[in-house]
Every structure is written in C-alpha cells, then in structure tokens.
Chain A
Amino acid sequence: MSLLKVLHVFKSYDGAPLLRDVSFDVGAGEIVCLLGPSGTGKTTLLRMIAGLEELEAGQILFESRDVRGVPVHRRGFGLMFQDLALFPHRSVYENIAFGLRMHAQSLAEQEIRARVEETLALVGLDAARFATRDVNHLSGGEQQRVALARSLAPRPRFLMFDEPLGALDRILREQLVVDIRELLKRIGMTALYVTHDQEEAFAVADRLVILNEGHVEQIGSPPEVYHNPANTFVARFLGLTNLLDGQVIAVGDGLVHAATALGAFVFYSDGTARVGDEGMLLLRPRALVALAEPGEEGDNMLRGWIVESTMRAGHTRIVLASDEHRFTFEWDGVERVGERVTCKLDPAKISLLELSVKSAS
C-alpha cells in the first residue's frame, strides 16, 4: 500500500514552469529516490511535500488524506536539509531533543534523554562523547549523523533527505549512503531521498523516480532502469553514451533491423518496435564481442579508429571514432591508439530508445 501519493503536481518559478504533471508514490517502508540533474525541481518537490512551499495544481496524499492546508509543523514528517541546518546555538543534545520538545504531549526530561541517547546510538555516535558537544565543532561526517539523528528522534512517519551528503567527499559519501540505507531498513522507515548523483541513488533506493526538466522520465527499480532506460535522456544520465540515430526497416523472427548512418544493425525485439519508427540505438559498453577480419561483411559492424585506450581494473576502455561519433567500449583485448578496426557488436547488447523530449527539441 502506498503511504505517500504525489498526483499531477505543477509548479512554476518566476513564471517559468518548474514541475509539470509529476506523479509517483512511495510505499510503506520503501526508499524512493528522486534522481535528476540539478535544477529539475527535485528540492522544490520535497519542500512541497514538507509543506514549506505551496502547490500550484495537483494533490499530495498521505495515508490517502490530502495534506493541503496542514501546516509544516503538524505534518509529522522529517526532513534532512542539504546543508543540514543544525542549530548553531544549540548543543548536539539540544539539537536532537528539539523535535521531542515541540510536541503537545510533552515528554519527561528522562524520556527525552533516553530517546536522544538511543537515537545517537542508532546513527553510530557515542552519546557520552557527543551529547554535550558544540555542533559547530564537529567533522562533516559527524554533523551528518547528528542531523540524521535529529530527523529520526521524533520518530517521523515519513523521512525526506535533500542531497544530504552533497558536501562530503566521495569516500565518506559512499560509506554513509550504505549506512543510511541499512539504518532505514532496520527501523522500517519510509523515505524519499533526493540526489543528483546516480551512484548514490543506486546505492540507497528501492525505486528510482528519474526527473528531468520538471517531469518524470522513468520510474523503476535500479536494475530495471539500468537495463531498460526509457529514453535517451535516462540512458545518457546513467552514463550510457553510445547513441546513434536509427530507423527501423524490418521486424520479424523476434529481431529488429535498423538502418543508421554507420551501417545496418540487428538486435532482439522488445515487442514494441514497428517499421518506420525512429529512435536512437543504444550500444552498451559491453557490446563489443570481436574485431572483424579484413574484408568481413554483415550487420552490427562498426568501423572506426581507436582514439583512446586506457587500462582499467579488469578491462581496457577504448574509444572508437567513427565519422562524427565517439563510442566507448569495455574490451578484454589490448589495442593501440591509431589502429583502424571493425567492431562486431552483440545483438543482445543493442536496443532502440525513444527520443526524450529534451533530445528531440
């Protein structure tokens, strides 16, 4: 059952549309990630759910009830801000206790203390060492944990994260994102997580909502999205950049034949392609299976020069230049820069993508 439903939400900023008809839902206990480039309205969406900004059109339902008109402080949600917003004039303890003190059914000081210590332990901080500390003198990672503890302490019904790890370095971020997911799953918290970093999103989310220029491009689990990007935008955003304009010329026997400026390609049909369809062929990095012998002819042949060849862990990353295009493949062999080669591609690693609105315009 879905706990939160966002239905056909619209919002503009300074007269320009920011969010256009955004809909998605978050199930109880699920971690959903809003993923998209900066400036696509992810944070605004989060702030509207929190009640910090007004909707222009659409609905936000929580437990099937419209939250419109419920002031921020009565929603009982949690929100971890991008720059954390720890209260600089309060100690670690008082920051975490803040939410506990705000509620009408006031807790006794003992209970508050117990909850603060319990929450500190939950986020992996030693209560005895940290409770009395000044928040301004904590390290970045410690501040992150205190902010998380502050959001968790009042036991919100639903927790939101706005790029919470943005300010940290890569290594710390990778560790913390795993910790956050593990913690949220352990306490069964429903969460909505905003980020522009796809690796962070893949590590934390049960389900991704990919936003671009204010609308939803694709919703799905991380593997679904990765293996079947809905369109060229999603593919490019996930780092799948081997794209080539093509048109379907024949469909049959579970195979699709497409013509491109660089020759004819054949690949397995997903059942939707029709003759005459235009789109972009996605060649996956692992599509390169062999180099053709001189004079060999056929489908799925890509000719070009090797312009880059770098050793990576476990494979060689080669960049092939063909006409104006650049293709990147992961290859087990070793090739020299400047060599002219013909690549044979695996039909299973090729697919046809819809043009996204953005690439069409």
Chain B
Amino acid sequence: MVNRFFALAPRIIFLLPLAFLAVFYFYPLASILAYSLLPNGALDLSGIREIFSDPYYLGVLWFTTRQAVVSTLLTLVVAFPAAYIFARFRFRGQSFLRALTTIPFLMPTIVVAPAFIALLGPRGLLNLVLMNMFHLDAPPLKLVGTIGIIFIAHIFYNYTIVLRLVGGFWSNLDPQFEESARVLGANRLRVFWNITLPLLAPALLAAALLVFIFDFTSFGVILILGGARLATLEVEIYRQTANLFNLQLAAVLSLLQITFTFIFMLIYTRLQARLALPLKLRPQNVTRRAVKTAREKILVATNLAAMLLFLLTPLALLVLESFDTPGGLGLAYYAELGINRRGSITFIAPTDAIRNSLAFAVITVVVAVSLGLLAAYSIVQARRGTTLRDAIYLLPLATSAVTLGFGFILALGRPPLDLRASFWIIPIAHTLIALPLVVRSLLPLLRDIKPNLREAASVLGASPLRVWREIDLPIVARALVVGAVFAFTVSMGEFGATTLVARPEYSTIPLAIYRFLGQPGLMNYGQALALSSILMLVSALAIVLMERFRAGEVGEF
C-alpha cells in the first residue's frame, strides 16, 4: 500500500526508535552478558557456578520464587469474587469502579510502600487503634519486614490485572454453557467446577502469569517493606551494585533475572495464543444481568465494599497521616519539604526533586511519544516482520527496572558513551520503560485505520500531510493522550532504574521519598508521607485523565 505521507518523510526516521533501542537497550543488555560471562575477555562460568553453590543466593532465588507464587495465588483468590461480580452483573458506576481499581496498579511502588506503612507499620493506623483499645505500650502488629506485608502489597498492586483479564473474558462468555449444564442436571457447584472454571482457564492462566512476572521482579515493595532480611533477585542486584559495588556478581544475578523474565514472557505470549478457545464470545449486554434479588444485592454490595476498603484505605490513610503532625492536623510536613535544614551539599531539597521529576517526565513524554509514534507506524507499515518488530518493541517491558538501570551503569558509564554524570541518562531510562506502553496504546488504533480511508482523502484532494492531519491524527489522538499519560506516570514514579543511575543532584521524588523513609525521626517519616501524597495525587489525576480518553477497552494490556 503506497502511503504517500511516508514517502515524504525519509524512511530513515523510522529507524530512530530501533536505533534508540539498540543503544539504550541492547547495548546495556549485551554489556551485562559480557560482564557476567566474559569478565576477563574469556568465557568464565565461575560466577554462575558460585551463585548456584552459595546457599545465600540459592536462598534469594528460592525466596523470590516462593513469594511470587504465593502472592500470585493469593491475588487470584482475593480478586476472583470481584471478577465474577463485574462479569455477570450490571450495576451503576460499574465502569467508574473498574477504572478505580487501576489506580493502585499504576501507582508508583514508592507510594504504595509508605501507604502500607501508614496502615500496618509501627506508627500505622491499625497499631494505633489496637494500642488505644488495649492500652498497650508497644505496637502489637509487627508486619513490616515480614513476608505477610509483602503479600498484602502485591495483592493490592495486581488486583486489577485479575479483575480485568479474568472478569473481561468472563463477561464475554456465553451464559448458555452454564444454563445448559444446569438443565442437564448439574448443581451450581458442579457447573462452576466442570464448566465455568475450565472455560476461564486461559484467562486465569494469563492473569496468573502476568501477576507472577510482576511479583517476581518486585523491587520497591520488597526493598522498603521487606526490611534488611528479605531480598528478591531484584533487590539483591541493587544491593550488590549500590551498596557493595560487586558489579560482577550483580551482572550474573542480572543475567539470571533477564533469563527468567524472558522465559516467563515467552510462556505468557505462547499461552495467550495457544489457549484461545474457539468460543463464540457474546456481547456484555447479553451476559450481564441486573442485580435483582436481595441475596444478589447483598452479594454485590459486600464484594464491592470489601474491594473499595482494601484498595482505597491505604492510599487514603497515606494522605491523612501526611497531615497528622505532632502538633495536630496541619501542613507542617509539607512546609518542611522546602527547607534545607542540614545545609549539606549532598542533601537535595524536596522541592528540587519535584522540579527534577517534572522536567524528566516532560522530556520522557515528548521523547517516548515521538519514538512510540514512529515505532508504531513502522510496525504497521512493515511489509513483513510485523510480529518481529512488535516483539522487539515489547522487550523492554520484559526486563526489570533494576536490571535496566544496572545495564546502564555497565554500558553507559564508560567510553564510548559516558552518560554517568549526565542529566539525560534518567529521561532515557524512563523513555525505555515507557516506550512499550506508548507503542501498545497506539498500535490497536493505528491497525484499525483502513488504508482506503487515507486513499479516499487523497483522491478527494488532500495532500499527504493533510491526509495525516485529517485521518490519522483524529483517530489516534486519544491513544496519543493515553500513551503520553502512561509515559508521564511511569517517569514520575520510576524508582528501580532511577535509583541506580541518578546522581544526587538529579534526585527525583521517588528517590527523595526513599531517602526520607530510611532516616529516623518523625519529621522524615512525615515528609516521606507528604511527598508520597503529592506523587499519588499527580498519578491519580493522570490516571483519571487517561481513563476518560481510553473509552472502552482501547489499549492492549
């Protein structure tokens, strides 16, 4: 198909996103590979052998897997009832409530961790209530630093994946399968066990695998809530790099992490393709029914109430406690953010962190959206190799943030490309993480534009540039906004990669929060809460904006 707009633009600009990935993704990845397997220029597998023979690292690996498996199973169980409610019932505010569940998922980890400290920590609400009720001198719940709080945070995070993937699939499932089983004499339990559950299996598996990948590579939650004893692979890479400067060991661990996530992603995409049952999907207005009987009303209401309580309490509490100063409710923690008390050079005022974060976010939006647009066009326009290109642009999503950051340290910290002290290394890292999301949100709409719409416009007298403006732009505009918001939120909340590559003077909001959390004293804790609240508010606003533009189910998960 001759698309004349693209005949205008030199084809070479469509190679820009690929060049970006080559330099800032594949090169760092190759550096990790080289550093771990060829530390002295020759193949040396002793690093890998060392890890697999040291009980400590085996322990880390075992813990990483165990917490991910248990978190995933718990998430499935906890979110399943809501998936059912959303799939089979029709009630007011349904789409708004579903949108609300996305907020935790898109929240920066650095906000979620303090939110759970505000709820379950030694000074958290739950402990305060218990201490008051039973006149205790010490907080009775000691959850911080245990695996329990990690499970809770992971469920909180990934709840919406199960709700959307399982609930979405379920809502298109023909109720006639279940009805015919009932007519054939099966009781409700048999129907669920023999009909519903097997039919849902593909969606359940896909959701489980996706949740598992996120839990396996969990970083911020574990780093902050897990305390000093608990470490996942991701946290261990960070510690080896940032605290112990053992780059070779970190490289081997990163290689391990990359291998695992790639295998999981591969299984995920394979499963999605293979498990697609040839089902005739039904529109949701057929499969959903209104809530009628009292029993159903109670069922729906209690489920939704529990869901909202679980998803909103930690975030609400975070904001609440950020105003709860020793001198009563007030803005003391917020006021403190602007003051540099220690006067030290390494201390970066939180206001500077906010300014940095905004600057990085704006750059990330511009670069990621431009590159994403080019990448999406090059995928859609490609005569062959569409799936390959698609997969290449998806890869950064399958690489954990800390691994990316570590790759940057190895590859971009020395000639020929030394960006160590550069301001740009941060927005580049953020762009890398945001790019797959931008491409994902653009692709479906771009694929849907029939080429003959452009041809029709052209025959009617529209110049190539005009065709793009009149046809492409209005159709993908919403997706562009969604992509931009994705990029903005990712950049504002990114923690894992930034914490490894950012120089102190380029500190961002998440880094500032992390630093406050690591320092003793109520004032530091309060400032962490205040900054988290600000970040949460910004992210929430962005998400609400995005949901407004998303309309329906545009954008692939």
Q: Which residues of A contact B (CB under 8 A)?
A: 50, 52-54, 71-79, 81, 83, 85, 87-89, 98-99, 102-103, 150-151, 154
- Residues of B at the A interface (CB closer than 8 Å) are 2, 4, 450, 452-453, 455-464, 466-467, 470-471, 474-475
What residues of B have a CB within 8 angstroms of the CB of A54 in the complex? 2
Query: Closest 6 A-B residue pairs measured CB to CB?
Result: A102-B461, A99-B460, A85-B456, A85-B452, A72-B458, A79-B459
Give the residue of A52, A53, A83, A150 whose beta carbon is less than 8 angstroms from that of B460.
A150
A53 with B452: CB separation less than 8 A: no
In the assembled complex, 30 residue pairs joining A and B whose CB atoms fall closer than 8 Å, in A order, are A50-B455, A52-B455, A52-B458, A52-B459, A53-B2, A71-B4, A72-B459, A73-B460, A73-B466, A73-B467, A74-B461, A76-B461, A77-B459, A79-B459, A81-B455, A83-B450, A83-B452, A85-B453, A85-B455, A87-B453, A87-B456, A87-B470, A99-B460, A99-B461, A102-B460, A102-B461, A102-B462, A102-B466, A103-B461, A154-B461
**Distance in Å from the Cβ of A324 to the closest Cβ of chain B?**
43
Residues in A with CB closer than 8 Å to B2 are 52-54
A78 to B458, CA, bound (A): 10
CB distance from A230 to the nearest CB of B (A): 33
Question: CB-CB < 8 A to B461: which residues of A?
Answer: 73-74, 76, 99, 102-103, 154
Q: Which residues of B contact A150 (CB under 8 A)?
A: 456, 460
Q: Which of A83, A89, A154 is close to B475, meaning CB atoms less than 8 Å apart? A: A89
Whether A98 lies near B457 (C-beta < 8 A) is yes
* CA of A151 to CA of B457, assembled, Å: 10
- Give the contacting residue for A79; candidates B456, B464, B466, B471; CB below 8 A: B456
- In the docked arrangement, what's the CA distance between A330 and B456, Å? 46
Q: A52 vs B2: C-alpha distance in the bound complex, in angstroms?
A: 7
Known: A72-B4, A98-B470. A85 touches B450 (CB 8 A): yes
* Inter-chain contacts of A154 with B (CB < 8 A): 460-461
Q: How far is the CA of A151 from the CA of B475 in the complex (A)?
A: 22
Distance in angstroms between the alpha carbons of A53 and B456 in the assembled complex = 14
CA distance A151 to B460 in the complex (A): 7
CB <8 Å contact, A73 and B459:
yes
Bound Cα distance from A79 to B458, whole angstroms: 10
- Chain A residue numbers with a CB within 8 Å of B453 are 85, 87-88
Cβ–Cβ contact A50 & B475, under 8 A:
no
User: A151 to B461, alpha carbons, bound, how many Å?
Assistant: 11
Are A81 and B456 within 8 A (Cβ)?
yes
Of A53, A78, A103, which one neighbours B459 at CB under 8 angstroms? A78
**Smallest beta-carbon distance A171→chain B, Å:** 27
Contacts of B459 in A (CB 8 A): 50, 52, 72-73, 75, 77-79
Cα distance A87–B464 in the bound complex, in angstroms? 16
Distance from B466 Cβ to chain A, minimum over Cβ atoms (Å): 7
Residues of A within 8 A of B450 (CB): 83, 85
Determine how close the nearest CB of chain B comes to the CB of A101; give it in whole angstroms. 9
Distance between Cα atoms of A53 and B4 in the complex (Å): 11
Contact indicator A81/B452 (Cβ below 8 Å): yes
- B469 → A minimal CB distance (Å): 11
Q: Which of B4, B453, B461, B471 has the most CB of A within 10 A?
A: B461
With both beta carbons as reference points, the residue of chain A lying nearest to B461 in the complex is identified as A102
What residue in chain B is nearest A79 (Cβ atoms)?
B459
Name B463's contact: one of A52, A73, A78, A151 (CB within 8 Å). A73
Q: Which residues on the A side are within 8 Å of B463 (C-beta)?
A: 71, 73, 102
Q: Which residues of the partner chain B approach A79 to less than 8 Å between Cβ atoms?
A: 455-456, 459
Contacts of A99 in B (CB 8 A): 460-461
Between B453, B456, B459, B462, the greatest number of chain A beta carbons within 10 A of the residue's beta carbon is seen for B459
Roughly how many angstroms separate A161 CA and B475 CA in the complex, as a whole number? Answer: 26
Shortest CB-to-CB span from A115 to chain B, Å, is: 13
**Which chain A residue has the least Cβ–Cβ distance from B460?**
A99
**Using Cβ atoms and an 8 Å threshold, which residues of chain A touch B464?**
71, 73
Q: How far is the CA of A72 from the CA of B1 in the complex (A)?
A: 14
| Complex interface: chain B residues within 8 A of A98 (CB) | 457, 460, 462, 470
Question: Using Cβ atoms and an 8 Å threshold, which residues of chain A touch B470?
Answer: 87, 98
Q: How far is the CA of A138 from the CA of B239 in the complex (A)?
A: 63
Tell me which residues across on chain A come within 8 A of B457, comparing CB atoms. Answer: 87, 98, 102
What is the distance, in angstroms, from B541's C-beta to the closest C-beta of chain A? 27
Separation of A331 and B470 alpha carbons in the complex (Å):
60
Q: How far is the CB of A307 from chain B (nearest CB, A)?
A: 42
Chain B nearest Cβ from A90, distance in angstroms: 8
* Alpha-carbon gap, A74 to B459, bound state (A): 8
Residues of A within 8 A of B456 (CB): 79, 81, 85, 87, 150
Chain B residue contacts of A76, Cβ below 8 A = 461
Q: Which residues of B contact A52 (CB under 8 A)?
A: 2, 455, 458-459
Which residues of A lie under 8 Å from residue B455 when comparing CB positions?
50, 52, 72, 79, 81, 85
CA–CA, A151 to B459, complex, Å?
9
